[in-house]
Amino acid sequence: MTFNINEDHNKLLLTNLRQKLVTVKLGGGEKRIEKLHAEGKMTARERIDYLLDKDAKKIEIGAFAGEGMYLEHGGCPSGGVVVKIGYIKGKQCIVVANDATVKAGAWFPITAKKNLRAQEIAMENRLPIIYLVDSAGVYLPLQDEIFPDAAHFGRIFRNNAIMSSMGITQIAAVMGSCVAGGAYLPIMSDEAMIVDKTGSIFLAGSYLVKAAIGESIDNETLGGATTHCEISGVTDYKAKDDKDALDRIKNIVGKIGDFDKAGFNREKTQKPVLDEKEIFGILPKSRTEQYDMYEIIKRLVDNSEFDEYKGDYGKTLITVYARIDGWAVGIVANQRKVVKTAKGEMQFGGAIYSDSADKATRFIANCNQKKIPLVFIQDVTGFMVGSKSEHGGIIKDGAKMVNAVSNSVVPKFTVIIGNSYGAGNYAMCGKAYDPRLIFAWPSAELAVMGGTQAAKVLAQIEASSLKAKGEVVDEIKEKELFNIIKARYDEQVSPYYAASRLWTDAIIDPLETRTWISMGIEAANHSPIEKKFNLGVIQV
């Protein structure tokens, strides 16, 4: 009975995810898509789909970027840019395409953040990166939030230069507008092409040129394909239309030589023996309910097999060696059921205790020594609190685990399937700890603490403040305060709130987890490990 209730709930969350994705993929809406088509142009998603190998696996980064943000400006679906990792002529690449249906492809603050995330992935994994440019430039009403800071618009061109020095292939196709500072992105790429009659590149358009220096000139003559391919030499190739440009990119990528490999171990893939779809019934409806994380792991790993490290010690963290799509991995996962120690003591599932933190530190070190990528499966309420934990040195042991995660040199991947609260998020390789990819299931929650606990604390503080002002706060008023605060907090713990701000790369169908991890490790295999694992100074 419980299995069926869980299954119905989790499948409903998945249906909601799919419905949201349908809306997101429309970008600025059907009318604007029709307008692009009338201009002889493809949409950003159509361009990417045409460019990537058909029937090959692909994953999308930041589909929900900007979700619920900038509503006073008309919104910014997917951050106004589409980013996917896939294959071109069999070579794994990352593709970045401006969505001209969203404010003519203008750059919002989240657009810059998403572009920087794409470049970060390319640099970490030494992946070829393709830019499909069609943008009106910075969205001027928000220019102060995108223009001057270290992680703003200018960082993108700095990254162009750094990637060039690293030998990472960058190819750009100007398929629409490319103006002002944005004009540097394609021209700082290794090779640039422009689509005739629809592509244009200039530091200032014809209206601004007229206002600035009094010159009258049309945009095509100023910075069209003929100008830049025959006169200025700014671009390398002229394409007759979108498909011609994309075909040329395919041909260029198809001739790229092989890469130095990190050498992660891989064998022939085997599907899990246990039915992956049973995950929906195992994962509880409530984030406070207990369940056995081993049952989730068995449905994610090859042949449903793993070798456990220190299985009888530190039981609130599971540490196992396994394979996912043939790749050897080390998995660190939160056990979500109450466990009993050898001393007969009970430990709460989801909490990290001193012994489990100590075990995880050793396991992470072992994976680094053996060159095995790490996978963190998060459903964590945080580190255990109370006098017994404090006297036992939980802060010291937690610090050791955080140290190991921070200094790990093998690629890390983080899957948030349930709670991701407080310092538990940090120790289990949250976004601040540089996972190569971090993604969530629709059941995930990210916050300093759970909504109920946080609302109780905040409601008590608010009630005390009102009482200090002489106001009467009875039981009804306290309940009203609690409900208001809890509703606000629940919105912020939603996985969509996190995904909109790129705290995670995606919200995915749990059944896509193996694909995400496999493609992530394949990408990481492009980048040999150059650093040695060193914990630095720790208290023992």
Q: What is the pLDDT of residues 23-69, one digit of tens each?
A: 999 999 999 999 999 999 999 999 999 999 999 999 999 999 999 99
**Strand locations in 346-411, DSSP E?**
346-347, 351-352, 374-380, 382-383
Residues 6+ apart with CB under 8 A from 47: 97, 132, 175, 242, 246
How confident is the model at residue 538, as a pLDDT? 72
- The residue-averaged pLDDT of 119-140 equals 95
How confident is the model at residue 345, as a pLDDT? 87
475 — pLDDT class (breaks 50, 70, 90): confident
204 — pLDDT class (breaks 50, 70, 90): confident
Token digits for 194?
Answer: 């422009």
pTM of the shown model: 0.94
**pLDDT of residue 463 exceeding 70:** yes
- Taking the C-alpha atoms of residue 411 and residue 390, their distance in angstroms, rounded to an integer, is 32
Token digits for 479?
Answer: 């309940």
**Strand locations in 164-309, DSSP E?**
170-179, 191-195, 200-202, 237-239, 306-308
How confident is the model at residue 459, as a pLDDT? 76
**pLDDT of residue 265 exceeding 90:** yes
Residues 6+ apart with CB under 8 A from 374: 329, 330, 331, 332, 364, 367, 408, 410, 411, 412, 413, 429
87 — pLDDT class (breaks 50, 70, 90): very high
**pLDDT of residue 540 exceeding 80:** no
Percent of the chain with pLDDT over 70: 99
**pLDDT of residue 248 exceeding 90:** yes
**pLDDT of residue 181 exceeding 70:** no
